[in-house]
Copies of this chain bind each other. A is one copy, B any other.
Amino acid sequence: MVKVQVYVTLKEGVLDPQGSAIQNALHTMEYKEVQSVQTGKFIELKIEKTTDLEKRIEEMCEKLLSNPVIEDYTYTIEEVVS
């Protein structure tokens, strides 16, 4: 069994209204030191190991977990002692 952590973020240049809203709210709360905010998705999967593990993870990311048109993804794989 492995634990896969997928991080999905917006591509460079794609507007992030949620990030801007968070930044404005933080500034209103007097956290003026915040210069930029970018939001994204974090997905953690527990997966039974298969021979073509990385290939299938990338397929899952491209087909379902991220939108390749506007999002980038990265992932980490960690052995899990089950």
Contacts and interface: CB of A to CB of B under 8 A. Distances in A.
A37 B45 contact: yes
A31 B43 contact: no
Contact of A33 (B34, B36, B44, B47): B47
Contacts of A65: 22
A40 B8 CA distance: 11
Interface residues of A, number: 34
Given A29-B64, A31-B60, A65-B22, A38 B47 contact: no
Contacts of A29: 60, 63-64
Interface of A: 1, 7-9, 19, 22, 25-26, 29, 31, 33-50, 56, 59-60, 63-65
